[in-house]
Structure 1
């Protein structure tokens, strides 16, 4: 089970024109907005990455307001674990389990997930917040992440698992995020 005290969120490379050409891009963006809003409501650490931002552009406009208060970590390796600032951020967060979302499932998301697991972290991939340009590549990426030891979840599943009870103050906010 996910625990608020031990869980954080990593958002990988949802930026520029590339984010718009992902398979089911609009649905992915809507799910990402819910995931980020839920993570904020639960006060989870958020680590946000941008691949080669000078070339690929900044994070999608609809996510930027939700990510205020956080600064993106630029990366140039496909695995975020190749960037010392990222590794420092996950080490400093104090959490051991990471929800992972972003693009592309079969490249940057897969390689980051694989390396996080090799670093001894637990990873849950938020499937409705992960995409690739083609459904086949998304599926291959998800399969490889599971083979590497990741678990699959969805926005609704992970947020309700993290909130844990309808009697906690954050329940109403999470309920509104899901609706």
Structure 2
């Protein structure tokens, strides 16, 4: 039997990053100052994922109506971008098939909106048996109450609520990791930008 603390540890060989619905027309409805911080956290995670060779999956909710993923993130998610009409990603059969085919049991989840597509995806992934790490500084909702409620419900459901830097350093494990200097430089750059 596994230890209940096991789900809090990330393993770069078992983890993948999922970026949910950070789309052009949805972004315009978000508080601009908070969005800039969320975008910064997502860019940091995508750069870290590239350095650590983690699979990255992006999703788009009804792109004909909401537009495509924002250009700042689109290139990093170009290998796998899944369109959907269900709010939760797991309502799209190709998403679940793809996630299972990756052979990764730990999913690092970011995106928007926290209380709709992100939250419903977290529930679906947990139901499918994945360990979910929800990155609180890389998700957002239009309203603070909805955002906070999504975090609370996700934690109650069994997700690990974390931050972008916590994720990166958990994946590195130690300062002797070959990617440590590059990720440390990304952290310093984020700090200089006020993230």
Gaps of 5+ in 2: 1-8, 189-195
Look up the match of 1:43.
53
Shift of 1:31: 0.9
Look up the match of 1:88.
97
**The one of 3, 11, 20 aligned to 1:3:** 11
The 1-side partners of 2:28 and 2:105 are apart by 31
Q: Which one has the largest radius of gyration?
A: 2
**The one of 106, 121, 129 aligned to 1:120:** 129
Q: Secondary structure at the match of 2:86?
A: coil
The 2-side partners of 1:44 and 1:29 are apart by 19
Number of residues of Structure 1 aligned to a counterpart in Structure 2: 178
Look up the match of 2:67.
57
**The one of 138, 147, 168 aligned to 2:156:** 147
Give RMSD over aligned pairs.
1.0
> Are 2:56 and 2:80, in contact at CA under 8 Å, matched by a contact in 1?
no
**The one of 17, 23, 29 aligned to 2:25:** 17
**The one of 102, 107, 119 aligned to 2:111:** 102
Shift of 1:20: 3.3
Q: Secondary structure at the match of 2:71?
A: coil
The 1-side partners of 2:123 and 2:77 are apart by 25
Look up the match of 1:79.
88
The 1-side partners of 2:117 and 2:151 are apart by 12
